[in-house]
Amino acid sequence: MTDQNVNVSGRLVVGRFRSARFISGRMASNKMLMVGGVIVAVFTLMAIFAPWIAPYDPLELHIKDRFSPPSASFWLGTDNLGRDILSRLIFGSRISFQVGAIAVSIAIAGGVLIGAVAGFVGGIIDDILMRIADALLAFPPLLLALGLVASIGPGLWTVSLAIGVVYIPRVARVMRGSVLVERKRDYVVAARVLGQSPWKILLFHIGPSTISPIIVVATIIFALAIIIEAALSFLGVGLVPPTPSWGIDLDVARHYLHRSIWMPLFPGIAISLAVLGLNLLGDGLRDYLDPRSYSTNAANTGS
């Protein structure tokens, strides 16, 4: 009992210290959140309204206007087949965000389930699940995704599936960590004493407080998914041309470096901006949702 009091008061002290120290950090995180949020919102709108925003069909060939520089009719120029680069970028955001959304959903669904079971049940099941997760985390992510895509084949769904599977262990780790922290909290002990069933406790009591870290990790995985999809498509094993994928467009562009600087320039900017926006959003959300998450996590695993 005394032990618990020390723990609780210790956490409070840490909390106060932190919030005092991070007033400026908090403001910075708000700024990150805002900039990241705006960038991500713009890309999301582009993805949703692509057919209405894009000036041309992304597959339409303007043979007479091949390799044209930015102009009034083609704002970002055209590529080697005379396709409008801007339209391909806008539709490309649709592809990237589709892959991101599907991959994140798969990673979250699998990871939350596995992590929750591991953290809540504990014992040998936890041991086995986490050993498997560690082994999967030991693969370089791109390498594992490459191997999976090599066997299940190219395409939007297979690529998203492969990326999602690659990140399941990462979500599982985060989820297990939060469940372990929450499981020892007083309100869970109280619920258990009151005789609630373990699964109800997991779903209605522990579940809601694990949402913040999951949202943060989901944002980061979204960014990683966009990069990996672009890399796979760039390598020629991801999406299939003529799909307007940023990675495919970069791959095509590298063969015409002597003809056009616009072809490699804009898809790269699009990938970088989207990833930057998601990273800022993720960092900002982490500080905003729970500035103490890391100190309490550390405190709990240490004790």
Partner 1 sequence: MIFYIVRRLLQLIPVFLVMSIVVFMFLHLVPGDPVDAILGNEATEEAKASLRARLGLDQPLIVQYFMWAGRVLTGDLGNSIVNGGSVLDTILQKAGVTIFLAIGSVLLSVIIAVIGGTIASANKGTWIDLSVLGAALVGVSIPSFWLAILLMMTFAVNWQLLPSIGYTAPAEDFTEFVRHLILPVVTLGAIMAGALSRLTRSEMIDQLSQDYIVTARAKGLSKFEIVYKHALRNALIPIVTFAGLELGTVLGSAIVIERIFSLPGLGQLIVESIFLRDYPMVQGTILFLSLIFVLINLLVDISYTLLDPEIRLGGEQRND
Closer to partner 1 by Cβ: residue 200 or 254: 254
Q: Which is closer to partner 1, CB of 206 or CB of 231? A: 231
Q: Does residue 237 touch partner 1 according to CB under 8 A?
A: yes
87-120: buried (b, 16+ CB within 10 Å) or exposed (e) per residue? bbbbbbbbbbbebbbbbbebbbebbbebbbbbbb
Q: Which of residues 179 and 275 has its CB atom nearest to partner 1 in the complex?
A: 275
Q: Which is nearer to partner 1, 40 or 275 (CB)?
A: 275
- Contact between 268 and partner 1 (CB under 8 A)? yes
Strand partners, 78: 84
Pick from 104, 117, 224, 271 the residue near partner 1 by CB under 8 A: 271
**Least distance in angstroms from the C-beta of 10 to partner 1:** 17
Q: Are 120 and 206 in contact (CB under 8 A)?
A: yes
> Nearest distance from residue 235's CB to partner 1, in Å?
5
Q: Which stretch binds partner 1 (CB under 8 A): 22-30, 109-117, 135-143, 286-294?
A: 135-143
Closest distance between partner 1 and the C-beta of residue 199, in Å?
28
Residue at 230: amino acid letter: A
Q: Can you tell me whether residue 78 is helix, strand or coil? A: strand
Point out which span in 65-73, 93-101, 182-190, 248-256 binds partner 1 (CB under 8 A). Answer: 248-256
**Is residue 279 close enough to count as binding partner 1 by CB under 8 A?**
yes
The burial of 246, by beta-carbon neighbours within 10 Å (0-12 exposed, 13-18 middle, 19 or more buried), is given as buried
Give residues with Cβ within 8 angstroms of 138, minimum separation 6: none
**Minimum separation from the CB atom of position 275 to partner 1 (A):** 5
**Site map 138..157 versus partner 1, x via CB under 8 A:** xxxxxxx-xxx-xxxx----
> Which residues have CB under 8 Å from 212's CB, separation 6+?
285, 289, 290, 293
Asked if 134 is part of the footprint of partner 1 (rule: CB under 8 A), the reply reads: yes
Using the minimum distance from each CB to partner 1, give the nearer residue, 23 or 138: 138
**Total binding residues toward partner 1, as defined by CB under 8 A:** 43
Contact between 176 and 115 (Cβ < 8 Å) = yes
User: Any idea what DSSP says for residue 292?
Assistant: T
Q: What is the DSSP string of 250-287?
A: HHHHGGGTTT-SHHHHHHHHHHHHHHHHHHHHHHHHHH
- Could you list the residues that contact partner 1 (CB under 8 A)? 131-132, 134-136, 138-144, 146-148, 150-153, 227, 230-231, 234-237, 250, 253-254, 257-258, 261, 264-265, 267-268, 271-272, 275-276, 279, 301-302
